[in-house]
Amino acid sequence: MQSLRFAIVCFALSLFLLLNACKAKENISKTIIVDQSGGGNFTKVQEAIDSIPSNNGLWTSIHVKAGEGSNVTLIQWGDFGSSSDSSTFKMYADNFVACDISFKNTHNHPLLLDVDHNVTWAPAALIQGDKASFHRCGFIGLQDTLADWQRRHYFVNCYIEGAVDFIWGGGQSIYQNCNINVTKSRIGSGNAYIAAQGRGTATDPSGFVFKDCVVFGTGPAFLGRAYGSYSRVVFYESHFDDIITPEGWDAWFSRGKEGTLTNSEVQCMGPGASMLNRVKWEKTLTVEALGQLVNLKSFINQESWIESQPIF
């Protein structure tokens, strides 16, 4: 696809974005085809989204005919300077599914060392709606790539690329079987940080849980740094290449108050998973607390909304 930018602003009660190879269940009420060659209902994705009424209460499929898979179907833009407004893709609607597509912010790709291409906020996607899932999708950027802003999200078999806080926000999310590519080599001497989670209080249900993920690329990189006073990030049964800093974590905004943070690695493996020199304040979770976080049902899927979504 040609470079384009779109934002979901319809606040639909139920919006299903079906892209490429996903197979819908019978509860899809309508399918809208986007084809740049003119063979569909619209030639632009934003036009298709705008056609859905704001009071929509039925699942609607938007099928983008631009090849098969996230390596082929790409929505990209090059805005920068704002951690939210500059995002290539913005999703505010509840009840959302995307499959087999990539979102990319082209700022710093390739990295150009001039005033217009400095390393700064340049998100590829901002996800704010509740009950959103992404299957086999790509998120490509350098700083603040994926703004997992708030509410419940499920990322499965996705690819996420960046160097500075490139998975960040106050979302309540599980990342399962995702490939996480750290591109530290693109930022020179600065530090690389994977996750920057913004949980603000002890009762805030949010947090990032990475299950069965693979972390690779160029380092050294911190697994995360605290974007909120009660930041919560857990890596569970994931594989780390030899790119993780010995300390593992940075307290950042909570320096001196590390006791409120929940940063934890459980049963991780690989050359970057050694715990010998990790920060002393890394949390050791109880079996009950760990189970609550890594279990899909108890952490994000309390209403079985994932099973009710029209995919596969």
Residue keyed to tokens 């459980």: 266
Residues in the chain, how many?
312
Encoding tokens for residue 135? Answer: 């299957």
Q: What is the pLDDT of residue 123?
A: 96
Catalytic residue among 94, 100, 148, 165: 165
Q: What is the pLDDT of residue 117?
A: 60
Q: What is the pLDDT of residue 168?
A: 98
Q: What is the pLDDT of residue 63?
A: 87
Q: What is the pLDDT of residue 280?
A: 97
Give the C-alpha separation, 15 to 8, whole Å.
Answer: 10
Taking the model in full, what pTM does it have? 0.90
Question: Closest by alpha carbon to 263, among 285, 296, 287, 241?
Answer: 285
Q: What is the pLDDT of residue 24?
A: 45
Task: From first to last of the 312 residues of the chain, give the pLDDT tens digit.
Answer: 333 333 333 323 334 454 443 544 556 778 899 988 888 899 988 899 889 888 778 888 888 886 656 667 888 998 998 877 899 999 998 999 999 999 999 987 655 545 456 788 999 999 999 999 999 999 999 999 999 999 999 999 999 999 999 999 999 999 999 999 999 999 988 899 999 999 999 999 999 999 999 999 999 999 999 999 999 999 999 999 999 999 999 999 899 999 999 999 999 999 999 999 999 999 999 999 999 999 999 999 999 999 988 765
Q: What is the pLDDT of residue 8?
A: 33
Q: What is the pLDDT of residue 18?
A: 45
The hierarchical CATH code for the domain 163-303 is: 2.160.20.10
DSSP state of 22: -
To the query of whether residue 144 is one of the catalytic residues in this protein, the response is yes
Catalytic residue among 94, 100, 144, 148: 144
Going from N- to C-terminal start, the domains of the chain cover 1-121, 163-303
Give the C-alpha separation, 306 to 104, whole Å.
Answer: 25
Rounded to whole angstroms, what are the CA distances from 190 to 164, 185, 186, 222, 226? 9, 9, 10, 12, 17
284, with CB counted inside 10 A (0-12, 13-18, 19+), is exposed
Phi first, then psi: what are they for 98, rounded to 5°?
-130, 140
